[in-house]
C-alpha cells in the first residue's frame, strides 16, 4: 500500500465490481486545508499500472456525488481504469462569506487559481487538479502517469476544458456533460470571476474554454460532449456550447456533441450516458 507513505488517511473502502472504491484525506499544500478525494482502483490495479481518468464535479458537489450517483464502476472495472474524483473547493477555511451562496465559495472553486483577497491563499483549484493531485495519485497508487484522461459535469467541465486546453498533450481524451463553455459571457462566470480574479476582464480569458480554444496549438484532442436538451441552465444561457462547437470546427478539432432529447442537468442524465464516456476514454487510454 504505497499510499501509507504519502500521509494519506483512508476514510473508506468498499468493494465494487471486483475493484475498490476508496476515499482518502490529505493535507493539501496548494489549498492550505485538508482535502478529500475518491479513487476507484479496478481489479487490474492489483497487478499492473492502470490508466487514470479524472472526474471534475459541478457546483455544490463533494467527492461523493459522482461515486454514489453516476453508476460508472462497472464500465471502469471492465476497461481497467482507475477513476479519481476530487472535491470541488477548499473546505473549512473560515473565509468570510464562503458559505453564503451555493455558486460562490465552498463547493464552487471553479477550478481557477484565485488572485483576489480573501480567496487567494486557499482557492487554487487549478493548480491542485493540474499538479498536486496527479503527483499524489502517481506516487501513491499503481497508475500510469503517461496515460491520463479527464471528464466532468457543468462547472467541472469548465475545469476539464481549461485543463486540457492549457496543457496540450497532457490528456489522451476529453469528455463533458453539460459544460460551462464560456464563463466570461455567462452570469455564473461573470460573478465568480469578478470575485476570484478581480475586475480586470483580460485576466478572465485565461480560464475561458472558448477563448483558450482560439489560441490552442492544435495538438490532437478528441472531445465527446453530451448536453440535455431540457437543461434549464442551457436555456438560461449559462452553458453556451454553440460558441465552443463553432471554435472547435474552426480549429478542426474533433468534437462529437450530442444534444439529448428530454434530459436535463442531473445525475440521472449522467448515469444514462456515463458508459459511453468511459468507453470513449478507454479507447485512447488502452490503445
Q: pLDDT (tens digit, 9 = 90+) per residue, 89-132? A: 999 888 988 888 878 888 989 999 999 999 999 999 999 999 99
Within a domain: 259: yes
Confidence of residue 6 (pLDDT cuts 50, 70, 90): low
Q: What is residue 74's predicted lDDT score, i.e. its pLDDT?
A: 98
Asked, for residue 114, whether it belongs to a domain, the answer is yes
Residue 36 covered by a domain:
yes
Cell digits of residue 80: 481497467
- Residue 5: the pLDDT is 54
| pLDDT at residue 103, as a whole number | 82
Tens-place pLDDT, residues 264-287: 999 999 999 999 999 999 999 998
Is there a domain that residue 2 lies in? no
Lowest mean per-residue pLDDT among 27-36, 79-88, 92-101, 222-231 = 92-101
Q: What is the pLDDT of residue 204?
A: 96
Please check whether residue 56 lies inside any domain of the structure: yes
Q: What is the DSSP string of 172-230?
A: S-EEEES----GGGSHHHHHHHHHHH-S-GGGGGGG-HHHHHHT------EEEEEEETT
pLDDT > 60? residue 75: yes
Query: What pLDDT shows up at residue 46?
Result: 94
Q: In this structure, is residue 1 part of a structural domain?
A: no
- Would the pLDDT of 164 be above 90? yes
- Average pLDDT (38-57) is 97
Let me know: does 112 contact 197? Beta carbons within 8 Å. Answer: yes
Residue 134: what are its φ and ψ, rounded to 5°? -60, -35
> Does the pLDDT value for residue 258 go beyond 90?
yes
Domain interval for residue 30: 9-286
C-alpha cell recorded at residue 274: 456515463
Instruction: Note whether residue 117 is domain-resident.
Output: yes
- Active-site positions read 154, 231, 265
Number of domains in the chain: 1
- pLDDT of residue 4 exceeding 60, the answer is no
Q: State what percent of residues in the chain have pLDDT above 70.
A: 98
Instruction: Please provide the average confidence, as pLDDT, over all residues in the chain.
Output: 94
Positive or negative, the Cα torsion across 233, 234, 235, 241?
A: positive
Does pLDDT of 200 surpass 80?
yes
The closest alpha carbon to 30, from 104, 135, 132, belongs to 132
CB atoms near residue 101 (< 10 Å): 12
What's the grid cell of residue 68?
454514489
Report the alpha-carbon distance of residue 277 to residue 256 in Å, rounded.
11
- What is the rounded average pLDDT of the residues 205-211? 95
What is the predicted pLDDT for the residue at 170?
95
- Choose between 220 and 161: higher pLDDT: 161
What is the C-alpha separation between 263 and 261, in angstroms, rounded? 6
User: Prior bond to 2 cis, omega within 30?
Assistant: no
Residue 252 lies in a domain: yes
Query: Can you give the CATH number for the domain in which 229 is found?
Result: 3.40.50.1820
Q: Which of these, 192, 187, 164, lies nearest to 248 by C-alpha position? A: 164
Amino acid at each position: 500500500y504505497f499510499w501509507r507513505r504519502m500521509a494519506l488517511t483512508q476514510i473508506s473502502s468498499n468493494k465494487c465490481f471486483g475493484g475498490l472504491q476508496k476515499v482518502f484525506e490529505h493535507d493539501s499544500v496548494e489549498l492550505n486545508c485538508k482535502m478529500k478525494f475518491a479513487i476507484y482502483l479496478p481489479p487490474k490495479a492489483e497487478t499492473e499500472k492502470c490508466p487514470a481518468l479524472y472526474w471534475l464535479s459541478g457546483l455544490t458537489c463533494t467527492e461523493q456525488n459522482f461515486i454514489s450517483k453516476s453508476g460508472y464502476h462497472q464500465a471502469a472495472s471492465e476497461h481497467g481504469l482507475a477513476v479519481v474524483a476530487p472535491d470541488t473547493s477548499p473546505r473549512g477555511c473560515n473565509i468570510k462569506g464562503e458559505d453564503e451562496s451555493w455558486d460562490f465559495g465552498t463547493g464552487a472553486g471553479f477550478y481557477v487559481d484565485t488572485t483576489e483577497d480573501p480567496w487567494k491563499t486557499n482557492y487554487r483549484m487549478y493548480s491542485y487538479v493540474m499538479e498536486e493531485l496527479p503527483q499524489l495519485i502517481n506516487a501513491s497508487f499503481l497508475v500510469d502517469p503517461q496515460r491520463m484522461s479527464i471528464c466532468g459535469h457543468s462547472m467541472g467541465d469548465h475545469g476539464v476544458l481549461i485543463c486540457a486546453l492549457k496543457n496540450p498533450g497532457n490528456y489522451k481524451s476529453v469528455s463533458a456533460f453539460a459544460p460551462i463553455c464560456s464563463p466570461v459571457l455567462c452570469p455564473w462566470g461573470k460573478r465568480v470571476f469578478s470575485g476570484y480574479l478581480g475586475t480586470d476582464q483580460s485576466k478572465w480569458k485565461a480560464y475561458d474554454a472558448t477563448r483558450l480554444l482560439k489560441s490552442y496549438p492544435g495538438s490532437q484532442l478528441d472531445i465527446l460532449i453530451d448536453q440535455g436538451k431540457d437543461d434549464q441552465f442551457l436555456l438560461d444561457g449559462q452553458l453556451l456550447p454553440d460558441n465552443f462547437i463553432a471554435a472547435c470546427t474552426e480549429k478542426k478539432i474533433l468534437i462529437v456533441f450530442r444534444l439529448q432529447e428530454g434530459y436535463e442537468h442531473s445525475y440521472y442524465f449522467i448515469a444514462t450516458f456515463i458508459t459511453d464516456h468511459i468507453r470513449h476514454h478507454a479507447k485512447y487510454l488502452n490503445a
